[in-house]
Structure 1
């Protein structure tokens, strides 16, 4: 019987460990976003959001997000917001994890290339969680493009966006500095009444859970925007 060299055994063990550590978990989810927005007075505006997110094959509440902000229109194309968010993460058989976020947000209407509309949303978050004492700092950048499917109308728009998340520090509740997640969306925007719109589509969420673990969520996304 031939003996396998020790170096080969070591290499095989290393490769096996690397594959085992590079784990990817997937889930099918449904996200609902209800948003109201509009002017308060003059150039002062607001938005308020309610977002239940269903996970585990859309069988249970995975996350509930309440978020609001007040903003100032610096120009017809640029608005600066200060906001706050409360996030509830249910834990099976345990106490819910709560996250509080303060954030600053810059919305920029960049222009109308290729017959559509290109916008940017930059958000800087300060995060605190009930299962730790550290403050997490995170940057988020979204680029969004929409284009009417029928020229001259806004009834049905093709819609796509991508949003990258970058964590700026490590925390005792699990955040790790570097790439945090990427969200990519394709779908349609439907005009309902006046300035109210509905967005329907598929969202892919890739989350880096550190130590070689990646989570991929396949999301059916439904958003209602009520503008007044």
Structure 2
């Protein structure tokens, strides 16, 4: 429990500092991220999750990525699910296809594992194996993630959402050139149900990239996710 609390405190502090501080030497980009997710129960234990995210960039002249994930999950405890799946991730340059990336994905999600004030904390640990067509090597990375959801009213469904995710590269390849923390994502959003099985999340996402041989990067993204559960 102490390690969980320490990770939570570190993540929330990073989130607060990043939102409070202006960027030091860094390149800036304005982006739009739109996503749709669907989770289907296959019984008491099994789940299937499908999500698709399209990312658009001002600096890259439009569409630059469509990430599609298919995951199969198994609940090992009330709040804990293990997942395994595949990511199909074509990349684009000004809307024109440039390179195809394939990923294996394994993760464990821990929902509502810690109550902090009136809100709930959730966490996820993800590991990915990455391959790019026409480029040699297998890249490995970890993606620890924490999320804090704070309802605006007691027992209410509309809430403030804060999240932090780090990308930690475990090796170097021709396309993964940093070993260690390569980027972080911090999100502040409002989440609210639209119908019984439909949820909307709208917010601001800040993605900071660490680049040892150049100025760091800052992506400022308007983020919108529509979620379905069945």
TM-score norm. by structure 2 comes to 0.84
Residue 57 of structure 1 and its aligned partner are, at CA, apart by 5.8
Instruction: Specify whether residues 131 and 215 from structure 1 end up closer, same or farther in structure 2 by C-alpha distance, changes over 3 A only.
Output: farther
CA RMSD of aligned residues (A): 1.9
Secondary structure of 1:90's aligned partner: strand
Instruction: Specify whether residues 23 and 135 from structure 1 end up closer, same or farther in structure 2 by C-alpha distance, changes over 3 A only.
Output: farther
Are the equivalent residues in 2 in contact too, given 1:33–1:222 (CA < 8 A)?
A: yes
CA distance in 2, matches of 1:95, 1:158: 36
Aligned partner of 2:126 among 123, 127, 133: 123
The equivalent of 1:222 in structure 2 is: 224
Secondary structure of 2:117's aligned partner: helix
The equivalent of 1:139 in structure 2 is: 142
Structure 1 residue runs of 5 or longer lacking an equivalent are 1-21
Aligned partner of 2:107 among 102, 105, 108: 105
TM-score norm. by structure 1 comes to 0.85
CA distance in 1, matches of 2:96, 2:227: 34
The equivalent of 1:11 in structure 2 is: none
Structure 2 residue runs of 5 or longer lacking an equivalent are 1-23
Instruction: Specify whether residues 93 and 50 from structure 1 end up closer, same or farther in structure 2 by C-alpha distance, changes over 3 A only.
Output: closer
Are the equivalent residues in 2 in contact too, given 1:26–1:215 (CA < 8 A)?
A: yes
Are the equivalent residues in 1 in contact too, given 2:60–2:94 (CA < 8 A)?
A: no
CA distance in 2, matches of 1:122, 1:31: 22
The equivalent of 1:202 in structure 2 is: 204
The equivalent of 1:79 in structure 2 is: 81
The equivalent of 1:152 in structure 2 is: 155
- Residue deviations 1:151-174, cap 9 Å, x none? 2221x1011000011000000124
CA distance in 1, matches of 2:138, 2:60: 30
CA distance in 1, matches of 2:56, 2:95: 17
| Equivalent residue runs for 1:33-52 within 5 Å | 33-52=35-54
Instruction: Specify whether residues 93 and 112 from structure 1 end up closer, same or farther in structure 2 by C-alpha distance, changes over 3 A only.
Output: closer
Aligned residues: 206
The equivalent of 1:186 in structure 2 is: 188
CA distance in 1, matches of 2:199, 2:61: 27
Are the equivalent residues in 1 in contact too, given 2:169–2:176 (CA < 8 A)?
A: no
CA distance in 1, matches of 2:184, 2:95: 30
